[in-house]
Structure 1
Amino acid sequence: MNMKTGLLLFMAISGTVSRTSAQTTDPLRFDPENYTVQTLQMPDGSSVSYKAYEGIHYVTNVEDPAYQTLNLYVPETLEAGTAVPILLRTYVGGYMASTAKTPSATDATGRALSEGYVVCIPGSRGSNSVVSENGKDIYTGIAPNGLLDLKAAVRYLHYNDDVMPGDADRIFTDGTSAGGAMSALLGATGNCPEYAPYLERMGAAPGRDDVFASICYCPITDLDHADSEYEWLYGCTNDGVRGLDSAQKRISSELAAQCPAYLESLNLTTPDGEKLTADNYREYLKKLLMASAHKALEAGAEIPDSIGIVFYQEKRLPVSGHLPEGMAPRPGHPQNGRPQNGRPEMLDGRGAPSFGPGGGAPRFNNRTDFVADIDLDVYLAYVASVTPLKTPPAFDAWGVLGSPASPENKVFGNEQGEPANFTDFSLRQHSQDGDAAIDPALQQRIYLMNPMNFIGASDSTLAGHWFIRHGARDRDTSFLVPINLATKLQNTGADVDFALPWNRPHSGDYNLDELFEWIKRTASAR
């Protein structure tokens, strides 16, 4: 019997720990008896009954009671003391506030309960959370407060691990868009001392705030570099489908020019050992998109050639009969690469870099046409034609060419609700002051909201496992953002399963079979 099981059984038998005594002696102690039983109907017609522990404050100095609570859901069949994974699902979107929600049968929360896992859904403050003090509105969700709330919720789980169902050593965070960024931040900043003073002032539980694994769908992150990455990638559409005017083209070009130096500074290395720079990045992106297309073809998808995808059968072998550069025949095939059916096959490794089962090169068979190349400019124009691109700057937009504040401008603003620029470039454009720069206090807040600053840091506990997805036609941020995140994590030694799912827009918690196969495999491999 482990210590956790023994303590829970002792409490159940002796009855020495009651709801009243637990709350009186320590307001952050979990009360295992304060729950209701609820039922969730699943899409397949089955139902899941669970214990619902709701409205739990995870800090003692509650500034905004509408958001600073968490809900915990435990399958009713889960035996006391059983150490199962905890799925921590944040519903943050657009860096706005999110209440502690209930499980949904159509996303990962309901699926986790049906799999026998514990589910934690914390609320958190955001750019639109407001309280009234002495007749004045105080905006409570300025950065990094939303992240601090989520870290406090993680601390609560660790602090109560001895009396709470689930295993706090196997917390899987899950979020989409800005929530994906928060999931990445939770995974990258575990136990980082730079957050400790904030958490102490909030009255967060003492102890750890690291997580076991991070699930990040289309993370809107690396905000202080995302504008330049967006323009560097999508600048090829400025004269076409994007239709920018001359002033917007100037902003786009100036931002794009910043990107190569940033990529160089990251010092990223591809799985093949090649340094990733602006010179080879487009080819690297093409490989990842080609792998996504291959996987979709294997699943029976139809992909038109009008969107820049070049299929092998459209290319003719040279007179010599040799395969194009980068292709090789399989063992046993003629050296000219022509199998009996007349179509050469690709070796694994010719497709995507190895980013785990979700992003690895797919299997091929003679019944599936495969992609030989991608005209990236044509493909990016297709992406922009499906969902119009953001105008430059995509994120730090406030005041640039008269643009209103973005959600990100608001989250980096002040407690009076006034937005703020968070890049020197946009601040200079806004203020018309060529020497303008972000003040140090704000710069520190910006720093704390970028997981790229903490991956590999000696004073942070990095989550060991990562599941990162960004749709192959998601234009809400540049493809560079999730690719850089995944590559830096892999370079640091983390276990990373990364892919750009074909034809997927900006969304999350899809293909739950794939996700929960990964969760099972990862949880058992600890």
Structure 2
Amino acid sequence: MNHKQLVAGLVLGAGALTAMAQTDPLRFDPSKFTNGSITMPDGQEVTYKAYEGIFYVKNVEDPTYQTLNIYVPDKMADIARVPILLRTYVGGYAASTAKSPSPSDATGRALQEGYVVCIPGSRGSNSTIERDGKTIYTGTAPNGLLDLKAAVRYLRYNDALIPGESELIFTDGTSAGGAMSSLLGATGNSKDYDKYLKKMGAADARDDVYAAICYCPITDLNHADMEYEWLYGCTNTGVRHLSEAQIAISDELAAECPAYINSLGLTEKDGTPLTADNYKDYIKSFLIESAHRALQEGCEISDTIGFTFYQDKFGPMGGGPGAGRGGMRPAGDQRPPMGDGRQAPSFGPGNAPRFNKTSDFVTGLDLDKYLGYVASVTPLKTPPAFDQMGVLIDTPSPENKVFGNDKGEAANFTDFSLRHRLHNPNAKLDKDMVERVAIMNPMNYIGSGKSDVAPNWYIRHGAKDRDTSFLVPINLATKLQNSGKNVDFALPWNRPHSGDYNLDDLFRWIASNLEK
């Protein structure tokens, strides 16, 4: 029992708490729990109290998904203020149920650390209900995000009753879940969502969070297609093997990207403006740092994927072309280095080091060659990567589906793809779609003054993750840092599209931010 529960219990008593919960559907009842446990990879058994199946809005539309679970470790962290890890399992913008903690991801580790865990469900592109004999799709944008914001409000509304500090909520998600985590971090208390949340019957409380943990966030969707082609267009006639029609679309999209990059007004840490002219050098600095750290930790890196090395540093370990550098692992071993979680580089965007050729392993990178390597590991998406419906194929993407309607009809969410699908050069998204797209993009809120942006950010995107362009997480991290936020960003070496890895690094970061 923490101090908040003790005070509540002394003032109200168990009976009064239960009565209050019965009269207020959003009031947490601390007496309704079951006991549970998980066994961690190190063999430790972690026991906890489980509060499950809690509705976090009054006007529940989809009871399958609009619930949350709260897990309180029996051995709480011996610290003054215990954080709450809010983990979303959203993937592909689909619906996600409220799940149980797992020993293999951050939820189990958080319980082991003595932190409170909240796992909310949320609606998504595939969630449906039956109403008046018709199938209604309940998860069209922004409903999934609204559900998660309502879950945050529930925690704050019940701060006096739920163990843990609602002022110390750390959100965590991967892929589309990483996008949701970034949106929770960027859009706190924005009035843009009030009308939706009021209609849902969300708690009358704040929805800003203390920190956002974002693994490979699939976000900035209305610019992601142009960013993908601008970066990967160098592979179109080689590894990617695009058709003439696909190359034409790729080139057209890529041509739109420089204006977007320039419009962001981003700067490196020293104030140097980032533009389309120097942006690829900026990307290279993160990849070089990733490779440099990997070599320090014993990973083998081939000479054939674009990196150059300081030869004298290695002496006899250097080998000939293709032999690789580092010598600590067999050639061709592509496992992420140091499987115990000791990898992630820690530097803020705009602060990537400029390497000294007399003291560092990696001295340069042929970016086009490296991107060819990434494309050879996992085939790239064909253009457009996200808003694909009706451009060269009729099949909708998950993103097309989530921006569709309650009848299950998918929709375009960029003017570019709408123009191509309708064969109308003047076609534009309607007002409703423009609003929905805008409130699903964290880039529109950072530095805008329209929201309370989380002060702390942990962003990771694998160095061989091709599910979205490197520009997406780099822009997000850089804009946050330019806005004065505490950002820990990296492109971890050899990581594909994945999340909740290197948990030692993550939880060191969490602990360091609890000390502030």
* Partner Cα separation in structure 1 for residue 103 and residue 509 of structure 2: 19
* Partner Cα separation in structure 2 for residue 105 and residue 362 of structure 1: 39
1:476-514: CA deviation from partner (whole Å, max 9, x where unpaired): 000000000000000000000000000000000000000
Deviation of residue 243 (structure 1)?
0.4
* Partner Cα separation in structure 2 for residue 386 and residue 120 of structure 1: 36
User: 1:226 and 1:314, CA in 2 relative to 1: closer, same or farther beyond 3 A?
Assistant: farther
* Partner Cα separation in structure 1 for residue 278 and residue 423 of structure 2: 35
| One-letter amino acid of the counterpart of residue 309, structure 1 | F
Tell me which residue corresponds to 1:418. Answer: 409
Please give the residue correspondences for 1:66-465 in structure 2 after superposition, counting only pairs within 5 Å: 66-78=64-76, 83-313=81-311, 354-355=347-348, 361=353, 370-465=361-456
Tell me which residue corresponds to 1:523. Answer: 514
Q: Does 1:481 align with 2:479?
A: no
* Partner Cα separation in structure 1 for residue 357 and residue 255 of structure 2: 43
* Partner Cα separation in structure 2 for residue 311 and residue 360 of structure 1: 18
Residue 486 of structure 1 aligns to a residue in which SS?
A: helix
Deviation of residue 362 (structure 1)?
11
| One-letter amino acid of the counterpart of residue 17, structure 1 | A
| One-letter amino acid of the counterpart of residue 60, structure 1 | K
Deviation of residue 312 (structure 1)?
1.8
User: 1:471 and 1:211, CA in 2 relative to 1: closer, same or farther beyond 3 A?
Assistant: same
Contact 2:4 2:163 in 1 (8 A): no
Aligned residues: 485
Tell me which residue corresponds to 1:4. Answer: 4
Deviation of residue 401 (structure 1)?
1.1
1:304-326: CA deviation from partner (whole Å, max 9, x where unpaired): 011111112189xxxxxxxxxxx
* Partner Cα separation in structure 2 for residue 133 and residue 42 of structure 1: 43
Contact 1:288 1:353 in 2 (8 A): no
Deviation of residue 7 (structure 1)?
2.2
Q: Which runs of 4+ in 1 moved over 4 A?
A: 79-82, 358-366
* Partner Cα separation in structure 2 for residue 90 and residue 473 of structure 1: 24
* Partner Cα separation in structure 2 for residue 251 and residue 353 of structure 1: 37
Please give the residue correspondences for 1:506-517 in structure 2 after superposition, counting only pairs within 5 Å: 506-517=497-508
* Partner Cα separation in structure 2 for residue 389 and residue 79 of structure 1: 44
Tell me which residue corresponds to 2:14. Answer: 15
Q: Which moved more, 1:166-175 or 1:72-81?
A: 72-81
Tell me which residue corresponds to 1:492. Answer: 483
Contact 1:359 1:499 in 2 (8 A): no
Contact 1:268 1:488 in 2 (8 A): yes
User: 1:47 and 1:223, CA in 2 relative to 1: closer, same or farther beyond 3 A?
Assistant: same
Gaps of 5+ in 2: 314-344
Contact 1:270 1:353 in 2 (8 A): no
TM-score under structure 2 length normalisation: 0.90
Contact 1:83 1:165 in 2 (8 A): no
* Partner Cα separation in structure 1 for residue 221 and residue 352 of structure 2: 28
Deviation of residue 523 (structure 1)?
1.5
Tell me which residue corresponds to 2:338. Answer: none
Contact 1:359 1:498 in 2 (8 A): no
| One-letter amino acid of the counterpart of residue 162, structure 2 | M
| One-letter amino acid of the counterpart of residue 4, structure 1 | K
Residue 400 of structure 1 aligns to a residue in which SS?
A: coil
* Partner Cα separation in structure 2 for residue 213 and residue 187 of structure 1: 7
* Partner Cα separation in structure 2 for residue 501 and residue 29 of structure 1: 42
- RMSD of the alignment, in Å? 2.3
Match of 1:501 among 487, 492, 498: 492
Tell me which residue corresponds to 1:318. Answer: none
Deviation of residue 207 (structure 1)?
1.5
Contact 1:127 1:140 in 2 (8 A): yes
Residue 258 of structure 1 aligns to a residue in which SS?
A: helix
Residue 402 of structure 1 aligns to a residue in which SS?
A: coil
| One-letter amino acid of the counterpart of residue 375, structure 2 | A
* Partner Cα separation in structure 2 for residue 5 and residue 417 of structure 1: 44
* Partner Cα separation in structure 2 for residue 89 and residue 231 of structure 1: 32
| One-letter amino acid of the counterpart of residue 391, structure 2 | V
1:224-262: CA deviation from partner (whole Å, max 9, x where unpaired): 000000000000000100000100000000000000000
1:366-386: CA deviation from partner (whole Å, max 9, x where unpaired): 9x9611111111000000000
* Partner Cα separation in structure 2 for residue 35 and residue 161 of structure 1: 17
Gaps of 5+ in 1: 316-351
User: 1:359 and 1:219, CA in 2 relative to 1: closer, same or farther beyond 3 A?
Assistant: farther
| One-letter amino acid of the counterpart of residue 7, structure 2 | L
Deviation of residue 435 (structure 1)?
1.1
Residue 372 of structure 1 aligns to a residue in which SS?
A: strand
Deviation of residue 52 (structure 1)?
0.2
Contact 2:124 2:402 in 1 (8 A): yes
Contact 2:14 2:31 in 1 (8 A): no
* Partner Cα separation in structure 2 for residue 282 and residue 166 of structure 1: 43
Tell me which residue corresponds to 1:341. Answer: none
Tell me which residue corresponds to 1:54. Answer: 52
Contact 2:285 2:353 in 1 (8 A): no
Residue 498 of structure 2 aligns to a residue in which SS?
A: coil
TM-score under structure 1 length normalisation: 0.89
* Partner Cα separation in structure 2 for residue 483 and residue 472 of structure 1: 12
User: 1:108 and 1:360, CA in 2 relative to 1: closer, same or farther beyond 3 A?
Assistant: farther
Contact 1:232 1:255 in 2 (8 A): yes
Deviation of residue 402 (structure 1)?
2.1
Tell me which residue corresponds to 1:346. Answer: none
* Partner Cα separation in structure 2 for residue 81 and residue 506 of structure 1: 34
Residue 392 of structure 2 aligns to a residue in which SS?
A: helix
1:16-41: CA deviation from partner (whole Å, max 9, x where unpaired): 4242x123221100001100010101
* Partner Cα separation in structure 1 for residue 204 and residue 254 of structure 2: 44
* Partner Cα separation in structure 2 for residue 361 and residue 283 of structure 1: 12
Please give the residue correspondences for 1:36-51 in structure 2 after superposition, counting only pairs within 5 Å: 36-51=34-49
Deviation of residue 81 (structure 1)?
11
